[in-house]
Amino acid sequence: MIANVIKKDDTQNTQNPKDKKLLAFLSKIENLPVLPPVAIKILDKTKDPEFSIDDLIDLIMMDQVLTAKMVRVVNSVYFGLGRRIESLREALVYLGSKEIKNVVLTTTLVNNFSNNQNSKLFKSFWEYSFATAVVSKLLAKSLKYKDHERAYLAGLLHDIGEVILIHNFPNEFLKVVKKVESTNMNFEEAENEILGISHTDFGPWLLEQWNYFGEIAHVVSRHHKPETSIYERHLVAIVHIAGLYCQNNNLGFGLNDDFKHELEMNFAWEILKNDISPNETFNISGHIAAIDDNLSGIKEIVNNIC
């Protein structure tokens, strides 16, 4: 399995020394993270244009925790229904296939990759990842980016490489967290300094092993440095800004209280302006305000999932 772990990106040097470090780390891992079976079944089922709500109900009801969480999530202020959803069927009818896939994937990942030994780290990780997903989707809507659900998925999985680090190298990861908190480095910088490799190296590899989500691997590898992205630069920029917004608002892994990112000055906005709205007035503060308006709802739905 380890022999074929690295799939070359067009932009990678084939002699990249990080490849050897990645292989060295992977050789120490006994149990690799796998997608939960119910998530795989639902991902496959929602690909079928003729799938039925009853098919999904049968799959989801195999997991009582998932069933309860889906109903609770739909009743969050974030969805703004104005009435209470009482049944799984009502929830599924309201959500639609793409949203169902996102909620199921989020919930099963949170449930399955939150072991007791490192529960605090996993809780913070999933709060941050889910919040980034929700903010990415809101930002995509504000920017009129064509695929809101893809933005959500990219936000959710942008740091998925951390799952390997938290699960298999928790002591080293704690050092990384302390480094981030004390210096305000980003996680990629702190991991590279301490480990010589980062979650942006592990993440694309893990997505490839899962045989799903390979289309966002480039986003996962470049989200800390959107200026280096070649493919889907606008999506990389959306996820980058969403992550910084969540850090500024203490959603999951945060920074020390004395430091905040200068969000409106971030270079990623230039990418978005040039790629999405080259001929239109680009109101950065307006896009940020669109997220601020939903902040309480974001916090509630994150709490319901995590």
133-167 pLDDT, tens digit per residue, is 999 999 999 999 988 989 999 999 999 999 988 88
Radius of gyration of the chain (CA): 19
Q: What is the dihedral of CA 46, 47, 51, 53, to 10 degrees?
A: 10
Please count the other Cβ atoms lying within 10 Å of the Cβ belonging to residue 72.
16
pLDDT for position 13: 44
Residue 55 shares a structural domain with residue 131: no
Rounded Cα gap, residues 88 and 72, in angstroms = 10
Residue 147 shares a structural domain with residue 43: no
Residue 45 shares a structural domain with residue 194: no
Among residues of the chain, what percentage have pLDDT more than 70?
Answer: 90
Residue 58 shares a structural domain with residue 159: no
pLDDT for position 255: 58
Residue 100 shares a structural domain with residue 135: no
The verdict on residue 201 lying in a domain is yes
Q: Is residue 289 predicted with pLDDT exceeding 70? A: yes
Closest CA to 234 of 289, 282, 186: 282
Among residues of the chain, what percentage have pLDDT more than 90?
Answer: 36
Residue 217 shares a structural domain with residue 158: yes
Residue 99 shares a structural domain with residue 60: yes
The verdict on residue 56 lying in a domain is yes
193-211 average pLDDT score: 91
pTM: 0.87
CB 122 within 8 A of CB 130: no
Residue 158 shares a structural domain with residue 285: yes
> How many domains would you assign to the chain?
2
The verdict on residue 1 lying in a domain is no
Residue 148 shares a structural domain with residue 231: yes
Residue that terminates a domain, selected from 85, 112, 139: 112
Q: Give the confidence band of 295 by pLDDT, cuts at 50, 70, 90.
A: very high
Higher pLDDT, 55 or 248: 248
The verdict on residue 18 lying in a domain is no
Residue 108 shares a structural domain with residue 189: no
CATH number of the domain that 181 lies in?
A: 1.10.3210.10
Query: Which position has the token pair 């630069």?
Result: 233
| Residues 260-282 pLDDT 10s | 889 999 999 999 998 777 767 78
DSSP 164-219: HHHHH-HHHHHHHHHHHHHH---HHHHHHHHTSS-HHHHHHHHHHHHTS-GGGHHH
| Residues 58-93 pLDDT 10s | 888 888 878 888 888 878 767 766 678 888 888 888
Residue that terminates a domain, selected from 96, 112, 128: 112
Residue that terminates a domain, selected from 51, 86, 112: 112
| Residues 85-114 pLDDT 10s | 888 888 888 877 778 788 888 888 888 887
Structure tokens at 96: 């639609």
Q: Which domain holds residue 150?
A: 116-306
Residue 75 shares a structural domain with residue 177: no
Rounded Cα gap, residues 303 and 95, in angstroms = 19
